[in-house]
Copies of this chain bind each other. A is one copy, B any other.
Amino acid sequence: MERLRGIVPPLVTPLTPDGALDVPGLERLVAHVLDGGVHGVFVLGTTGEAAGLSYALRRRMIDETARCVAGRVPVLVGVSDTAVAESVELARHAAAAGASGVVVAPPYYLPPGQPELLDYFRLIVPRLPLPCVLYNMPPLTKVTIGDEVLEALAGEPGIVGIKDSSGDLSYFHAVERLAHRPDVGWSVFMGPELLLMDAVLAGGDGGVAGGANLFPRFFVRAFEAAEAGDVARCRALEAHVLEIRELYAVGQHASAVIKGLKSGLEALGICGPDLAEPFRRFDEAERRRVAALVEALAPLDRSGAASDG
Q: Given A202-B238, A277-B123, are A109 and B51 neighbors across the interface (CB < 8 Å)?
A: yes
Q: How far is the CB of A176 from chain B (nearest CB, A)?
A: 9
Complex contact A242–B54 (CB within 8 A): no
A224 interfacial by beta-carbon distance below 8 Å: no
Least CB separation from A140: chain B residue: B109
Interface 9-residue window, one of A61-69, A215-223, A249-257? A249-257
Interface residues as binary, A89-123 with B (CB distance below 8 Å gives 1, 0 otherwise)? 00000000000000000011111110010011001
Q: Which residues of B contact A301 (CB under 8 A)?
A: none
Complex contact B253–A112 (CB within 8 A): yes
Interface size on A, residues (CB 8 A): 60
Complex contact B201–A278 (CB within 8 A): no
Least CB separation from A47: chain B residue: B110
Complex contact A83–B53 (CB within 8 A): yes
A302 interfacial by beta-carbon distance below 8 Å: no
How many angstroms between the C-alpha atoms of A217 and B284 in the bound complex? 54
Interface residues as binary, A265-293 with B (CB distance below 8 Å gives 1, 0 otherwise)? 00000000000111110000000000000
Interface residues as binary, A185-203 with B (CB distance below 8 Å gives 1, 0 otherwise)? 0000000101100100111
Would you mind naming 23 contact pairs between A and B with Cβ atoms under 8 Å apart?
A46-B110, A51-B107, A51-B109, A52-B107, A55-B83, A84-B276, A108-B108, A112-B253, A112-B254, A112-B255, A116-B253, A116-B278, A116-B279, A119-B279, A119-B280, A123-B277, A124-B278, A142-B142, A169-B198, A173-B238, A173-B241, A177-B238, A201-B234
**Residues of A with Cβ closer than 8 Å to B?**
46, 49, 51-55, 57, 82-86, 107-113, 116, 119-120, 123-124, 140, 142, 167-170, 173-174, 177, 192, 194-195, 198, 201-203, 229, 231-232, 234-235, 238-239, 241-242, 252-255, 258, 276-280
Other than the given A52-B84, A177-B238, A198-B202, 12 more pairs (CB < 8 A) read A49-B110, A51-B110, A52-B82, A54-B85, A57-B85, A84-B276, A108-B108, A112-B254, A113-B254, A116-B253, A120-B277, A170-B194
Which 8 A-B residue pairs are closest in the complex by CB-CB distance?
A113-B253, A51-B109, A51-B82, A120-B278, A229-B231, A54-B85, A170-B194, A84-B277
